[in-house]
Chain A
Amino acid sequence: MTKPMATRQAFGEALLALGAEREDFVVLGADLGKAMFTSAFQQKYPHRLINFGIAEQNLMTAAAGLATVREPVVACTYAVFAAMRACEQLRTMICYPNLNVKVIASHGGLHVGGDGVTHQGTEDIGIVRSFPNMTVVQPADARTTYLALKAILDRPGPAYLRLTRNPVPPVYDADPSFELGKGIWVKEDGQDVTLVATGVMVAKAIGAAEKLAALGITARVLDIHTIKPIDKDAILLAAKETGAIVTAEDHNIIGGLGSAVAEILAEESPVPMARIGLRDVFGESGDPEQLFAAYGLSADHIVEAAQRVVAKKA
């Protein structure tokens, strides 16, 4: 896992590996077998994958019904369809009865690129985070995608796993300690600011921390792979010890990681903070890196935000 890999592809490989280890879970798809790399699982376990066709509402409510008979259920589609087309299915039929359904949501964020706004899930985390009982997870790279899938399968109840369409560079060169609800300190030796990132933005935050070091600002980097339940202790520690926080996510700044962190800081430990993410706009088609530069999600944007919050510190 030294080459960049889309986390949707890493998911497909993880599914195959975990399918051999445990016979319990069943995979439901919505005509995206190739797109979500579940075809290999289907070939190996034809009776454990059911294709619902292009019918995401049926996919999710049937997943709920199935989970009362056979669990866990792994229900796969794109983030926009999972969180929005089937929004009420997730809330009322999966989260309210607290059923053991793992919603796998590919195509998270602006990083989707060329497909454009209809396929870029940029509000999904804000939506699913507001549902009681829901665990919300977004791995930063291929290696942690396996760990994330394994972790949500091991924990009963609803979960939402957000994946990328396009390749992301490896963040970890060995398996980190991965526990749902616990952030990973990717870089823990900074004093001036903490960069709290999730998903594809973890790699950007690492790049930003290196650039900040050259400017004389030492930054910690915290990978929040579990956006809910969020690692409140780590965030409060970061606030206490570095006194400034920048969040970074490939999502609208409304409702996602930045909101979750702001909620904690506002109530318990107000410090200067800034949110990197889509500034309440829709994206457009284009190369992901160009889009990140155009919409304020590049490492340089994180650097600027860090400089601003550091300057605000008393």
Chain B
Amino acid sequence: MACQHRGKVKDLKLMANQIRRDVVEMIYRANAGHPGGSLSCVDLVTALYFAVMRLDPKRPDWPDRDRFIMSKGHGCPTWYAALAHRGFFPREELWTLRQHESILQGHPDMNKTPGVDMTSGSLGHGLSAGLGMAIGAKLNGQDFNVYVLLGDGELQEGLVWEAAMAAAQFRLDNLVAIIDYNGLQLDGTLGEVVGVEPLVDKWRSFGWTVFEIDGHDMEEILSICERARKTSTPVAIIAHTVKGKGVSYMEHQVGWHGAAPNEAQFEQAMAELDEERGLIS
């Protein structure tokens, strides 16, 4: 199965820029959310939804679609924006984030949002749920892949490693874990809280094939996703990212884990993203 590069790299970069704009606007309008960890995973999610995954927005329940789980559920504004731009629901829905009766819950709900394959938000569950889906594909003789996006702080949850151990045991070559390694969690840097290094060795020792990439380099993301399909083991992609990527005052800042921008900050973010858009080649 070849990588279906529907868009050129430039188009993907433009889409990522648009998703960043939407993410900031969603959180600004909702006056709540998690901008830092949403922005760090935009390029990864954009690559998956606009180049890598086998999807049909008209059939969100298509049995043979590739699955995506946002285990770091607080990053859902990015997922929602990608789903909207991919055609799963109208973009206008984005401005209802976190509101009463919205299809866009504060954390992903598979029964409310078209295209959301698994409920998440309680950290640590996503890889295990993806493991179950990958097992289901094998049991049913289906050839879809399962992509799970994990936060780095989330790796402190024991369940992640229960799932990692089992995935290797069951030889699930259809399971890909992508770690959004931005280095920050709510209380500080991972190193200050409970460090997860050596991360490559950890996954490798659990029987996974490990790739390490720049999580903001679109070409590298695409080429690794291609290689990830050709292994006989589950794959962990450790994507080095910047929390708050794209908005200067949010980058590398713990304080932007779970805070909404005010009006002036919102305007500045939009101006910066406009400027970035002009530079995309």
Taking beta carbons and an 8 Å cutoff, which residues of A are in contact with B?
26, 47-48, 50, 52-53, 55, 57-58, 61-70, 73, 88-89, 92-93, 96-98
| Contact between chains at B117 and A68 (CB < 8 Å) | yes
Choice from A47, A55, A67, A89 contacting B125 with Cβ under 8 Å: A89
Q: Taking CB as reference atom, which chain B residue is nearest A86?
A: B159
Choice from B109, B132, B139 contacting A65 with Cβ under 8 Å: B132
**B window 203-233: CB within 8 A of A:** none
| Contact between chains at B131 and A62 (CB < 8 Å) | yes
Choice from B63, B111, B129, B140 contacting A93 with Cβ under 8 Å: B129
Chain B residue contacts of A48, Cβ below 8 A: 139
CB-defined interface of B58-81 with A at 8 Å, one 1/0 digit per residue? Answer: 000001000001000000000000
Q: Taking CB as reference atom, which chain B residue is nearest A47?
A: B139
A-B contact pairs, 15 of them (CB 8 A): A26-B139, A47-B139, A50-B170, A52-B166, A53-B165, A58-B128, A62-B131, A65-B132, A65-B136, A68-B118, A68-B133, A68-B136, A70-B136, A92-B121, A97-B119
Q: In the complex, given contacts A69-B140, A69-B142, A97-B118, what are 16 additional A-B residue pairs having Cβ atoms less than 8 angstroms apart?
A: A55-B166, A57-B128, A58-B159, A62-B128, A64-B129, A65-B128, A66-B135, A68-B118, A69-B63, A69-B132, A69-B133, A69-B137, A69-B139, A89-B125, A96-B109, A97-B111
Cβ-based interface call for B158 (8 A) = yes
Tell me how far the C-beta of A256 lies from the nearest C-beta in chain B, rounded to whole angstroms.
Answer: 26
How many angstroms from the CA of A88 to the CA of B117 in the assembled complex? 19
Report if A65-B118 is in contact (Cβ < 8 Å); known contacts: A58-B131, A92-B125, A97-B110. Answer: yes
Choice from A47, A55, A61, A92 contacting B132 with Cβ under 8 Å: A61
How many residues of chain B have a CB within 8 Å of chain A?
31
Cβ-based interface call for B104 (8 A) = no
| Contact between chains at A62 and B166 (CB < 8 Å) | yes
| Contact between chains at A62 and B119 (CB < 8 Å) | no
How many angstroms from the CA of A63 to the CA of B159 in the assembled complex? 14
Query: What is the predominant secondary structure among interface residues of chain B facing chain A?
Result: helix
| Contact between chains at B129 and A65 (CB < 8 Å) | yes
How many angstroms from the CA of A48 to the CA of B135 in the assembled complex? 11
**B window 104-145: CB within 8 A of A:** 109-111, 117-119, 121-122, 125, 128-133, 135-137, 139-140, 142
| Contact between chains at A92 and B135 (CB < 8 Å) | no
Taking beta carbons and an 8 Å cutoff, which residues of B are in contact with A?
63, 69, 109-111, 117-119, 121-122, 125, 128-133, 135-137, 139-140, 142, 158-159, 162-163, 165-166, 169-170
How many angstroms from the CA of A67 to the CA of B119 in the assembled complex? 13
How many angstroms from the CA of A96 to the CA of B121 in the assembled complex? 12
| Contact between chains at A65 and B133 (CB < 8 Å) | yes
How many angstroms from the CA of A65 to the CA of B122 in the assembled complex? 14
Q: Taking CB as reference atom, which chain B residue is nearest A50?
A: B135
Chain A residue contacts of B135, Cβ below 8 A: 50, 62, 65-66
How many angstroms from the CA of A245 to the CA of B214 in the assembled complex? 67
How many angstroms from the CA of A88 to the CA of B16 in the assembled complex? 34
Report if A64-B132 is in contact (Cβ < 8 Å); known contacts: A52-B166, A93-B119. Answer: yes
Tell me how far the C-beta of B221 lies from the nearest C-beta in chain A, rounded to whole angstroms.
Answer: 24
How many angstroms from the CA of A66 to the CA of B146 in the assembled complex? 12
Choice from A55, A62, A63, A92 contacting B122 with Cβ under 8 Å: A92
Q: Which 8 A-B pairs have the closest CB atoms?
A: A65-B132, A69-B136, A65-B129, A66-B132, A62-B132, A61-B128, A58-B162, A55-B162
How many angstroms from the CA of A64 to the CA of B69 in the assembled complex? 13
Chain B residue contacts of A96, Cβ below 8 A: 109, 119
How many angstroms from the CA of A93 to the CA of B137 in the assembled complex? 19
Tell me how far the C-beta of B269 lies from the nearest C-beta in chain A, rounded to whole angstroms.
Answer: 32
Q: Taking CB as reference atom, which chain A residue is nearest B132?
A: A65
How many angstroms from the CA of A57 to the CA of B140 in the assembled complex? 24
Chain A residue contacts of B121, Cβ below 8 A: 92
| Contact between chains at A61 and B110 (CB < 8 Å) | no
Report if A68-B110 is in contact (Cβ < 8 Å); known contacts: A50-B135, A58-B128. Answer: yes
Q: Taking CB as reference atom, which chain A residue is nearest B136?
A: A69
